[in-house]
Amino acid sequence: MPRVSINPVEVRPGDTITVTVESGCDVPMPTGGWVVIAGPVGQLDLAVRTVTEAELVNGFAVTVELPADFPGSEGFAGLDSWDYSGCPDNASCASPVASFRVAQSP
């Protein structure tokens, strides 16, 4: 599973984050590309998504603009719809996501 990082890790609604997916995971790209998701924890319906056709084996970085009405809370970002079917029974198979913090708007 690829490692995901987010920069910056503290933002405000309307800011842009960069979601970086590290290289080293030779997994085929799904049809239509990789979907990168960013949302408030526990509120998947408020998440924003963007698509990239970058090869995962090389790693990639995608910028995601958070909506101006994005709630102040803990956020997460990473690859959406990660395919766990190839995970062995003894693997953790955790989602390839990282966290960030959204401050309340003044």
Q: What is the CATH number of the domain that holds 74?
A: 2.60.40.1930
> Which strands make up the sheet holding 4-7, listed edge to edge?
4-7, 16-21, 60-65
**Number of domains making up the chain:** 1
Q: Give the tens place of pLDDT for each residue, 27-77.
A: 778 889 999 999 999 999 999 999 999 888 888 999 999 999 999 899 999
The token pair that represents 103 in the structure block? 């401050």
Residue 64 falls within a domain, yes or no?
Answer: yes
Instruction: Return mean pLDDT, the chain.
Output: 86
Does the model's pTM come out above 0.95? no
Residue 57 falls within a domain, yes or no?
Answer: yes
Q: In angstroms, what is the C-alpha Rg of the chain?
A: 14
Residue 68 falls within a domain, yes or no?
Answer: yes
